Structure 1
């Protein structure tokens, strides 16, 4: 895993990240567009972490901190690089970021039907919180 590099995304990475998510991420989000990711980087330039191996994007995670809670989104690893420590390295980097910012607990958005993700998150020490449900309202069509 010595050849794995974790770095923060830059505006020049937007198109690459969006294309990567189409191939490696489960599901889509209302914010999966150039404007959505650009706003994320404008607001919190260090929130989108990228894993690269030999210059190739192999994984992503959004590690957002709002001053109160630590939120994890878009943990995605390219199918050809799974089970090789990419997600573990990304989550370790995200948790280091949260700790440095004063965060106390990380939470993750995980699709109910994504069983492989449940196993990965569980292996990383995360557990489903059965007493909470996510409530959403799209703010625009």
Structure 2
């Protein structure tokens, strides 16, 4: 695990063929498949959207400053990220995970963002595991 100013970043191993993170009653996130299911509609995520959502899921209910998000994203990419890039990726992600146009799951808390949920892993037998086990 690595930290970005007290934020946790867990490493995913391929020991799990699919890791489903239950974010809300209506939203599940398949990490390895890079898709979300909102109201049983499957929507694929870009690589950067997947990385962002994973970072938020491992740090739920905490405001994450934009500079910490940029540092995390740049650690996993050769690309250069700016606040504007992050804003664009978050808006694209919101369109895929929010059931309505008013953000309730990924909310803006200037100067950052927060995942307003308590995600957990759905194991193969549908039992709940804390996300910290990743």
Normalising by the smaller structure, the TM-score range is: 0.3 to 0.5
Q: Which protein has the bigger helix share?
A: 1
| TM-score, normalised relative to structure 2 | 0.37
| TM-score, normalised relative to structure 1 | 0.36
Q: Which of the two has higher C-alpha Rg?
A: 1
Q: Which has the higher contact order (CA 8 A, sep 6+)?
A: 2
Q: Which protein has the bigger strand share?
A: 2
